[in-house]
Amino acid sequence: NPHAPPPERNNPDNAEVKTLTNDATETIGSDANDEAVRMAVKRIDSAASKGILHKNAAARKKSRLMKKVNAAG
């Protein structure tokens, strides 16, 4: 979209996506992992719906996260 505002590098939603994704990755194998993954996916979807993340980028982030979680068992 040529009229879209420029993407914000330091957008708080972007920062939260990164934080929650890291939390989810770090908690793999623990009881807290289910909740951490759920929160990360929720925030990724939220950023995509607001247009902060491209929908394909959001799908890619979720896919990579789930791949790590499922690989751990």
Alpha helices in the chain (DSSP H): 12-26, 33-50, 55-71
Q: Return the closest-CA partner of residue 61 out of 22, 29, 34.
A: 22
Summarize pLDDT for 1-52 with one digit per residue, the tens: 677 766 666 788 899 999 999 999 999 999 999 999 999 999 999 999 988 8
Supply the pLDDT for residue 1. Answer: 60
The model carries a pTM of 0.84
Supply the pLDDT for residue 51. Answer: 87
Supply the pLDDT for residue 7. Answer: 66
Place of tokens 């979807």: 45
Cβ contact 11:52 at 8 Å: yes
Q: Is residue 70 over pLDDT 80?
A: yes
